[in-house]
Amino acid sequence: MRFIEDLCQPALLYAIFLAVNLGLDVSLGLWYTALFKTVFGVAVIVLLNTFCDIGLGVVSWFLVAAPFVITALATAISIGVRFDESMADKKTKETFEDKKNPAVPGFDAPADSNAIEIVAGV
């Protein structure tokens, strides 16, 4: 385990992240994905550690932190502009725009259902 002990902090953090991803892939039976991630991940760990060894630890930290920061910003922005809710409303309106409920005049049917026919028969 000398290799792990000699890793700089950004490379070690990426190695932990990689181990979690590999564990998830293996538990789901995604063997080829896990193999590809292992090869690519070891190469990235070596690259990050090399950056630290030549005095570019800041670059190494940037490469590790950038995906997390970008994901957090994108999530915060989408929550801030209520992107999910507006897309859900738009899809719902597009899907059910032309479906009218024959049982109750003036109301749109939320979905195809046998419950409407039962209510109409009563």
Task: Report the predicted TM-score, pTM, of the whole model to 2 decimal places.
Answer: 0.61
Residue 113 placed within a domain: no
Q: Is residue 109 part of a domain?
A: no
In this structure, is residue 105 part of a structural domain?
A: no
Residue 8 in any domain: the answer is yes
Distance (Å) of CA 103 to CA 96, 110, 120: 16, 13, 5
**Domains: count for the chain:** 1
Range of the domain at 77: 2-81
Q: Is residue 101 part of a domain?
A: no
Distance CA 5, CA 51 (A): 16
18 is a domain residue: yes
Residue 117 lies in a domain: no
pLDDT tens-digit profile, the chain (122 residues): 677 778 899 999 999 999 999 999 999 999 999 999 999 999 999 999 999 999 999 999 999 999 999 999 998 888 877 766 666 666 555 555 555 555 566 665 555 555 545 455 55
User: What 8-state DSSP symbol labels residue 47?
Assistant: H
Burial of 11 (0-12, 13-18, 19+ CB in 10 A): buried
